[in-house]
Structure 1
Amino acid sequence: MAGQTPNYERFIADLGKPDVQLHPLYVISGDELLLRNEALDALRAACRLQGYTERVTLSLTATGPWNAIEENTQSISLFGDRKLMELELPTGKPGKTGGDALVSLANRAARQELTDISVVLILPRADRTISSAKWYTAVTQHAVLVNTPVISREQLPAWIQGRLKRQKQHADPATLAWITDKVEGNLLAAHQEILKLGLQYPEGELTLEEVESAVLDVSRYNVFDMSHAILRGDGQRALKVLHGLQAEGEALPMVLGLLTYDIRNLYTLAQARQNGHNPRNLTRKLGLFPPKDQLILNTLDRLPFSQIMGLIQHAHDIDRLFKGFPADGRLTDAWQEMARLVLRMADTTASSH
C-alpha cells in the first residue's frame, strides 16, 4: 500500500517472509550507512526470491542522468524478467530536472504504471529542506518509506546488546560501555567488533577481559588513528595509516564507513552554522565527545561548506567503485581513490571563512 512508513525492524522482518508483497516504489532514508545497507540488502534478497533477475543501480546528482529512470521503467522485457532499480541520491538534492523526474516517477506509481519493476530511492536523512521539497512529498505519498533509526551514543550499549543476542551472546553494562567508548559511538565499527566476538567466543556471557582481548587485538594501524589524523589536518600520517590498513587486510567498507560518519557530522554542523546556530551546541546531540568533538569543530573551521558537500559525493563514489561500478572522474581502484579522499579531508589550505 502506498504511503506506508513501517518501523525499520518490521520492514526487514516482513521482507524475510516468503509471501511478502513487493511494492513498485520504496524510499530508504537515513545517515547510518550500516542500517541503510541492511534495509537495502533485505529488499534485494526479497526481490531475488520473487524472480527479480535484473538489478540496475544509478547514482544521481543534480546534473543527472535523470532520463535513465524513464528508460529503465518503460523498457519491456521480452522474457518477462522483473527488475529492481536502485536510485542513489547521496546529497539528497536532485535539482529541478531531477525533482521533476521524481515527481513523474511518483505519478506513474500512483497510476499503477510501474509493472514488473520495483524502484528504491536511497537518501540521506530527510532534513527540513528535503522533507519540504515537492518531489519528496510526491514520492513519499506513493512509496513505502523506511527511515533508518538514529542510534545515539547513549542508545548504543543497548543496540550492541541487541546485536550480541542475535548471535546468542550477551555482556554486562560495564563491558557494553567499554565497547561503546572504543568505537567512539560509531555504529559500523561496533558492528565489526560484534561480528569479531561472535567468531572468537562461544555463545553465552562475554567477560570484559574477553572483550578487551578481542577488541585490542587489532592491527598495528587503527582506523580511528586515521580519522584523528585527518581531522588534525595531518594528511601524511593519515595516508600512512590508510596504506597500513590496506596492507593488513582491513575491509574497505569499514574504513569508508568511519570517514562517512565524520563527513556526515561535518555536514550536519556546517548546515547548522549556515542556519545561524552554534555548531558547538550540537556536538553532544551528535554523540561527539572529547577529543573528537573539538577535532570535528576545528575541521569545520578549516573546510568550506562546498568542499564538505563534495566529500559526501566522493565517499559515495568510492562505495560504488568497491561494488564494481564505475564513477565519473574517479580512479578505478577504490583504495587509491580513498587516498584522494583522505587528502581532501585533511586539506589545510582551504578555509571556511
Structure 2
Amino acid sequence: MVKTDAFQSHLKSLAAASAFHPLYVFSGDEPLLMMESIDLLRSKARQLGYTEREVMLQERGFDWSALLNAGQTMSLFGDRRWIELRIPTGKPGRDGADALKQFSAQIASQSNADGPETIFCIVLPRLDMKTKSSAWFSSLDEAGMAVQIDSLDRGHLPSWIAGRLQKQGQSIQSGPAGQRALEFIAEQVEGNLIAAHQEIQKLGLLYPAGELSEEQVRSAILKVARYNVFELSEAMLAGDLPRVNRMLDGLKGEGEPLVLILWSITEELRLLSKLKMASDSGESVQQLLRANRVWGNKERLYPAALKRVQSSQLRQAVQIAAGLDRQSKGLQAAELPGDPWDGLRLVGNLLR
C-alpha cells in the first residue's frame, strides 16, 4: 500500500495507457482529498481513451457477480472503460470477501501490453490494521495499486490553505498579519477541508488575483448573510418561488456579491442537468446521488426536482445562467432583463 507522495509520482508517469494498473484501491476518511485523488487519476485515464464510466455501490443485496462479469465483458461501444466500486463501510462481508479474492485473481491473470481494457477503482473508508491484513484486501493490493489517503494534520492546515490560494493566483500578505489570516481561516473551518475549499473558492470569487490582506480575509470569511446563498439553491431545488424571491431581495439588500450567488446556482443547475439525463436513461436516482456526493437536505430535494422539472426547462435555465455570467462580466445579454437579479428570478421560476 502506497501513500500520497508515491501516488503523485505514479500520476506523473501516466503518459500512455500501458502505464496504468488495471486496479486502484483508495482508502481514507478525508472526502475532499479522496475525491481529488480519484478525479486526477480518472482525468488522466479519460485523456488516454477510458471514456466509458460505470459506478457500482455495494449495499445490502449487492450482486457481486456484477463486478466479476464487468472484468470479463467488453464495452458495447468499443471504448475503454473506467469502473468504480464504492464500499462505504469497508466491510464486504463473507460473500464479498470471496468475490474480491476471485476478482483479484481474475485481474492478475489478465495481461495487455497496450494497457488494461478496463481500469477498476475501488473506494474504501480508512481501514484498520486488521482489515489491511485480511486476505481480500491483500489480494487487491497485490493485483493493483492500493493508495492510502491520510488526513491532514491540523498544524499543516494553514500552509495547505496558502498552497490552495496560490493555485488560484492569490497569496496572503507576508509577515505576522498574513500568518494570522491563515490561522483564522483554519480556525473557522475547524479542520473540515471541504469547508476550507469552499472558503478558498469564495476568496477567488470575491477578490482578483494577487495578494490578500488580513482584513480582506476576515471580511469574506465572517460575512454570513441572513439569507444564506446555499439556502437559496435549496429553495430553488424545492421549487419554492415565493421563498426564492424573498431570499433574492434579502441577498441583494445585504450587498451579497452576485458572482458568488451565480456560481452556487450554476453548480446546482449543472448537477441537476447531469442527473436528469442519467435518470431519464434509466439509471437509479439513489445511486446517482451517492456517486455525485449529494447528501443532507439535497438528497431529498434532488429526486423531487428531477420529477418536477422538464429537460427543456433545465436547458433554458442553464442558458439564462450563462447569460447572467456574461452580464456579471460587463458583457451584453440582450435576451435577459437589465437587472441580473431579475434574471435569477427567471431561473427560480423555471425550477418551480
For residues 181-206 of structure 1, the C-alpha deviation after alignment (integer angstroms, 9 at most, x for no partner) is 11121100001111121222223321
In 1, Cα distance between equivalents of 2:296 and 2:183: 40
Q: Give the deviation of 1:251 after TM superposition.
A: 7.8
Matched, 1:124 2:125: yes
In 2, Cα distance between equivalents of 1:174 and 1:324: 35
Tell me if structure 2 keeps the 8 A contact 1:62–1:95.
Answer: no
In 1, Cα distance between equivalents of 2:141 and 2:28: 14
Tell me if structure 2 keeps the 8 A contact 1:183–1:190.
Answer: yes
For residues 72-123 of structure 1, the C-alpha deviation after alignment (integer angstroms, 9 at most, x for no partner) is 1111246532111100001101001111111111112222268411101001
Cα gap change, 1:201/1:324 in structure 2, threshold over 3 Å: closer, same or farther? closer
Post-superposition, which runs of at least 4 consecutive aligned residues in structure 1 deviate over 3 A?
3-6, 15-20, 77-80, 240-254, 317-320, 322-325, 330-333, 335-338
Question: What amino acid does structure 1 have at the position aligned with 2:124?
Answer: L
Tell me if structure 2 keeps the 8 A contact 1:321–1:333.
Answer: no
Tell me if structure 1 keeps the 8 A contact 2:161–2:196.
Answer: yes
Tell me if structure 2 keeps the 8 A contact 1:102–1:135.
Answer: yes
Matches within 5 A, 1:262-341: 320-321=288-289, 334-336=299-301
Aligned to 1:25: 23
In 2, Cα distance between equivalents of 1:144 and 1:91: 20
SS at match of 1:58: strand
Cα gap change, 1:112/1:323 in structure 2, threshold over 3 Å: closer, same or farther? closer
Question: What amino acid does structure 2 have at the position aligned with 1:160?
Answer: I
Cα gap change, 1:323/1:60 in structure 2, threshold over 3 Å: closer, same or farther? closer
Aligned to 2:221: 215
In 2, Cα distance between equivalents of 1:242 and 1:61: 30
Matched, 1:180 2:210: no
Cα RMSD, aligned residues only: 3.9
Cα gap change, 1:185/1:210 in structure 2, threshold over 3 Å: closer, same or farther? same
Greater per-residue helix proportion? 2
| More divergent stretch after superposition (105-114 vs 155-164) | 105-114
In 1, Cα distance between equivalents of 2:300 and 2:9: 33
In 2, Cα distance between equivalents of 1:318 and 1:78: 24
In 2, Cα distance between equivalents of 1:253 and 1:210: 25
Cα gap change, 1:333/1:183 in structure 2, threshold over 3 Å: closer, same or farther? closer
Tell me if structure 1 keeps the 8 A contact 2:3–2:149.
Answer: no
Aligned to 2:345: none
Question: Please, what TM-score do these two structures have when normalized by structure 2?
Answer: 0.62
Question: What amino acid does structure 1 have at the position aligned with 2:193?
Answer: L
Tell me if structure 2 keeps the 8 A contact 1:15–1:42.
Answer: no
SS at match of 1:154: helix
In 1, Cα distance between equivalents of 2:15 and 2:100: 29
Question: What amino acid does structure 2 have at the position aligned with 1:81?
Answer: D
Cα gap change, 1:91/1:153 in structure 2, threshold over 3 Å: closer, same or farther? same
Cα gap change, 1:92/1:189 in structure 2, threshold over 3 Å: closer, same or farther? same
Cα gap change, 1:4/1:146 in structure 2, threshold over 3 Å: closer, same or farther? closer
Aligned to 1:235: none
| More divergent stretch after superposition (7-16 vs 101-110) | 7-16
Aligned to 1:151: 152
For residues 227-267 of structure 1, the C-alpha deviation after alignment (integer angstroms, 9 at most, x for no partner) is xxxxxxxxxxxxx999679767768999xxxxxxxxxxxxx
In 2, Cα distance between equivalents of 1:186 and 1:147: 19
Aligned to 1:289: none
Question: What amino acid does structure 2 have at the position aligned with 1:334?
Answer: E
In 2, Cα distance between equivalents of 1:124 and 1:216: 33
SS at match of 2:45: helix
SS at match of 1:165: helix
Tell me if structure 2 keeps the 8 A contact 1:5–1:144.
Answer: no
How many residue pairs align between the two structures?
A: 257
Tell me if structure 2 keeps the 8 A contact 1:100–1:135.
Answer: yes
Aligned to 2:44: 46
For residues 41-65 of structure 1, the C-alpha deviation after alignment (integer angstroms, 9 at most, x for no partner) is 1122112111112111000136322
Aligned to 2:171: 170
SS at match of 2:19: coil
In 2, Cα distance between equivalents of 1:87 and 1:72: 11
Tell me if structure 2 keeps the 8 A contact 1:253–1:319.
Answer: no
Matched, 1:134 2:135: yes
SS at match of 2:51: strand
Tell me if structure 1 keeps the 8 A contact 2:56–2:84.
Answer: yes
Question: What amino acid does structure 1 have at the position aligned with 2:205?
Answer: L
Aligned to 2:89: 91
Unmatched 5+ stretches in structure 1: 227-239, 255-316, 339-353
In 1, Cα distance between equivalents of 2:4 and 2:297: 38
Question: Please, what TM-score do these two structures have when normalized by structure 1?
Answer: 0.62
In 2, Cα distance between equivalents of 1:218 and 1:142: 49
Cα gap change, 1:45/1:20 in structure 2, threshold over 3 Å: closer, same or farther? farther
In 2, Cα distance between equivalents of 1:213 and 1:38: 28
Aligned to 1:198: 204
Tell me if structure 1 keeps the 8 A contact 2:140–2:146.
Answer: no
**Larger Cα-atom Rg:** 2
